[in-house]
Amino acid sequence: MTFFPRLTSRLEAGEPVTICLFGSSTTEGVGASSPEHGFAPIFARTFEPFARGGLTIVNLGIGGNGAREMHARLQPVLSANADLVIWQGGTNDAWQNVPLAEFEDLTRKDLSTLRESGADLAMIGPQWSRMMEECAAFPAFRDATPALGRELGVPVFDRYGRMKSWCAEYGMTRDDLSPDGLHMGDFGYRLLGEAVANWVIELTGAAQAWGRPAVMS
């Protein structure tokens, strides 16, 4: 199964590709010591060697956004005419006491609209962090993201699970990855940016086709 037919076709043809990152503070890079240490620049640096025709990253991350805010600014995402849109969310809605059904309905509508535009789609699930584990509403939103992915046939990067595995691998705690208890720090963003880029590359088959190993975190 080809999850990203438009992106894969353009990569194989050596054509320029555009990837739009659409989300909240993680996408914006809140918590990084400087912009170049945030998620988007690390994702771009990891992905760029596989984009032989050139890579454009459109970063539409705004800290604090939930499904309502993201729905209100969907037009700039559509205007980016991206080959792949990576949606990231499900965290702020729990804090904002947004009803779960409203989060699901808005996210479902937005993803369907983006798919109708011709873009390939991917999703990044919520994080494993102290503040979210202390939020009673969080588990339902954490689980809703992969459920929506299964329903709509959109691949979902399991950030929650990967953060737990990184802590085990590197002998860290969740606060080492998210020093303020919510936002990732430089090392967390490095792991996330590299992992998501390599996950996308693996799903396109680009690494195997060109005989190049992806750089795994």
pLDDT tens, residue by residue, 13-30: 999 999 999 999 999 999
Handedness of CA 108, 113, 114, 115 (dihedral sign): positive
Question: Looking at the 3D structure of the chain, how many domains does it have?
Answer: 1
Q: How many other C-beta atoms are found inside a 10 Å radius of the C-beta of residue 116?
A: 9
* pLDDT at 214 exceeding the cut of 80: no
* pLDDT at 99 exceeding the cut of 50: yes
Q: What is the pLDDT of residue 31?
A: 96
CATH of the domain at 93: 3.40.50.1110
* pLDDT at 210 exceeding the cut of 60: no
Q: Is 72 exposed, middle or buried (0-12, 13-18, 19+ CB in 10 A)?
A: exposed
Q: What is the 3-state secondary structure (H, E, C) of the chain?
A: CCCCHHHHHHHHCCCCEEEEEEECHHHHCCCCCCHHHCHHHHHHHHHHHHCCCCEEEEEEECCCCCHHHHHHCHHHHHHCCCCEEEEECCCHHHHCCCCHHHHHHHHHHHHHHHHHCCCEEEEECCCCCHHHHCCCCHHHHHHHHHHHHHHHCCCEECHHHHHHHHHHHHCCCHHHHCCCCCCCCHHHHHHHHHHHHHHHHHHHCHHHHCCCCCCCC
Taking CA 158 as the corner, what is the angle to CA 154 and CA 162, rounded to the nearest 5 degrees? 155
Residue 215 lies in a domain: no
Confidence of residue 122 (pLDDT cuts 50, 70, 90): very high
Look up the domain containing 164 and give its range: 5-209
Give the integer Cα–Cα distance in Å for 17 and 83.
6
In DSSP notation, 57-83 reads EEEEE-TT--HHHHHHTHHHHHHTT-S
Query: Which of the 8 DSSP states describes residue 16?
Result: -
Residue 216 lies in a domain: no
CB 201 within 8 A of CB 47: yes
Alpha carbon 198 to chain centroid, angstroms: 12
Residue 214 lies in a domain: no
Mean pLDDT score of the chain: 94
pLDDT tens, residue by residue, 142-165: 999 999 999 999 999 999 999 999
pLDDT tens, residue by residue, 163-204: 999 999 999 999 999 999 999 999 999 999 999 999 999 999
